[in-house]
Structure 1
Amino acid sequence: MEIGTIWIVVAVVVILLQVWAIWHIIGSDRRAERKMLWVVFVVWAPFPGLLFWAWRGPRAVKGKAVLEEK
């Protein structure tokens, strides 16, 4: 594989991950302002945005909500 092909594959994977993350962000039950901040962060800083969203985004909110119910 050529270097250019590898970069295209990486770009496609990142774009697919961004679309998946944005889909989950928009479908969440958070306030619209927070959703928009997450979307902007994921789009403008793809690698750190995706990593930070995966770390603090959906799982942290669900786990916190479960702990608060008990």
Structure 2
Amino acid sequence: MQGTTRYFASDPSEVRLSVSAVVWRAPRARELLLMQRSDNGFWGLPGGYVEPGESVLEATRREVREE
């Protein structure tokens, strides 16, 4: 398809779990934490991959701190 970008895994047999977090300050501030990607400038939720031996909760906390 012309004008589209396709993304493929380098190794489709490898499955990596990823996490994202919604950080919402309410009720008065009504603020939502977003991050701007450095590769394409798009805005999104903080998140990333779960490291080996790490729980989903630990990974979520780490990714939010890193962002």
Q: Is the shorter-chain TM-score for this pair beyond 0.5, marking a shared fold? A: no
Whichever structure has more helix as a proportion of its residues is: 1
Task: Identify, as 1 or 2, the structure richer in strand.
Answer: 2
